[in-house]
Structure 1
Amino acid sequence: SSQVLFVVVFLIGFGMSHPKPGCRYPPSQWCRSLEIAIECKVQKQCMEMNAIRPNQTVPPVSVTLYYESLCPACRVFMSEQLFPTWTMLQDIMTVTLVPYGNAKELLSANSPFTCQHGEPECRGNMIEACIIHLTGHSALHVIYCMASAANVLDAAEPCLELYAPSVSWSSVVSCVRGALGYQLMHSNAVMTRALNPAHTHIPWVTFNGEYTEENEDKAMSSLYHLVCQLYKVRNLTSPKALRHAFT
């Protein structure tokens, strides 16, 4: 097909006309899945190629992650599944981040939130909520950078400077210290409390606004495959069959 030819020509252009040692797949399959791309050491090229050509009449798959800034499992999912998959499939998926998780909203003015991993996590949640609000499309890059760093809080400022240089760190600090930060966290609290079924753990992932244990299990092992599968299902309900999504 024309897509296979494009894949081969693209990868040859990167000097990758032969599989790397340990790669069991021909060039036409290298961008078929995240796992194959990693095995064949062409993940960067597949990401840059953004090989999916979406059917513009089909709405993207909506992925919402309910998480906490210092949650180890959340950070692993963010860095190993969510960000790489979004980088490759952003034309057919949207991502919403809701930093709150197992936090509790209190009536106390001095300490309006308590968090599973203590005050630093509450601060991290609010920093990330402010960054998400202020940076728009660059938010996922910044949050991924923080999640994959050795220290989430220490990484916030340099990650912001790297991926959203037009947004000043002082604006984030103002958000965190002012009313806006608390408003954003309250909104996240409301969204999290409204989950049906209610969340029992984090990370908690919904697809197109719905949660199923089966989909979450699939997301933890191969979010890439799941998003492609869900997009195909949406496409099959449209007048045109899916032509360019990976199988």
Structure 2
Amino acid sequence: MVRLNIYIFFFLVYPFILLTNGYVPEKLHLTVYYESKCPDSKKFILEQLQPTVELLHKYVRLRLIPFGKSMSIDYGDEGFQCQHGPTECMGNLVQDCALKYMRKHNDVQRVNYVVCEMELEAGAMGNLGCVKHARLPTDDVERCVSTGEGIALQLDSEYHTNSLKPQFIPSITINGVFDQQIQESALVNLKETLCSYLKEAQPCAHYYNNKVWEYLFYSP
């Protein structure tokens, strides 16, 4: 019976592997709404976003929006009020400014920078250590943080976040669309969630093929 299953596997799956080899589908637009000191954001970015982007960066275009459940006061003239306190407001601001200067960096580099901030909370403490580690122009980032430039970036992040009206942070959209089932799936397995859209992408084909092998040989 096992041998028959193997034959079925190669008959059905192996041609699919050959067809998907080298195939590059249209990129998914993945947007992540998060907060700099949010434990759930940290868990998602470290455990789900970073490994998934490393695997699927050729197939995804990522946007990171550090704002979450924050709120501007008098259109930013009086600063911002943040869910986890004033240091989170600083962390959001530093990340928004740093990400501005990473627009020509690839998604892996940008996620690695955010991972540093989420792990160390450097920006939230007014420390530009993660900015330096990412080899960004610290003087420019510091100027952005201390002037209206950073406030304008946070107001833009507020606008996009309020347009979504997320009930939970972090939240994600795919191709600009929020779906509660996709959200719940992404929080526990972002790779599998994105692969459900990218089945013909080689890393996803490999992922599903491994699932088939596990089913054939390890199912009771």
Residues 187, 85 of structure 1: alpha-carbon distance in 2 compared, 3 angstrom cutoff: same
User: Aligned-pair distance for 1:71?
Assistant: 0.4
Match status 1:84 vs 2:51: yes
Tell me the TM-score normalised to structure 2 length.
Answer: 0.75
Greater helix share, 1 or 2? 2
Within the candidate set 152, 175, 193, 2:144 is matched to: 175
CA distance in 1, matches of 2:63, 2:45: 12
Structure with the larger RCO, 1 or 2 (CA within 8 Å, 6+ apart): 2
Equivalent residue number for residue 217 of structure 2? none
Contact kept? 1:131, 1:139, Cα under 8 Å: no
Residues 156, 224 of structure 1: alpha-carbon distance in 2 compared, 3 angstrom cutoff: farther
Equivalent residue number for residue 106 of structure 1? 73
Aligned-pair Cα RMSD in Å: 2.2
The within-5 A match list for 1:1-247 is 55-56=23-24, 58-107=25-74, 110-136=77-103, 137=105, 138-149=109-120, 153-154=124-125, 157-163=128-134, 165=135, 167-195=136-164, 198-232=165-199, 245-246=205-206, 247=208
Q: Which whole-Å deviations, capped at 9, do the CAs of 1:48-77 have from their partners, x for residues lacking one?
A: xxxx96633x21122111111000100110
- Opposite residue 79 of structure 2, the aligned amino acid is P
Q: Kindly, what percent of the aligned residue pairs are identical?
A: 26
Q: How many residues are paired up?
A: 183
CA distance in 2, matches of 1:243, 1:206: 23
Residues 199, 243 of structure 1: alpha-carbon distance in 2 compared, 3 angstrom cutoff: closer
User: Aligned-pair distance for 1:111?
Assistant: 2.0
Q: Which whole-Å deviations, capped at 9, do the CAs of 1:60-105 have from their partners, x for residues lacking one?
A: 1221111110001001100110011101110111211001110112
Contact kept? 2:48, 2:187, Cα under 8 Å: yes
Structure 2 stretches lacking a partner, 5+ long: 1-19, 209-220
User: Aligned-pair distance for 1:108?
Assistant: 6.3
Residues 79, 109 of structure 1: alpha-carbon distance in 2 compared, 3 angstrom cutoff: closer
CA distance in 2, matches of 1:113, 1:62: 28
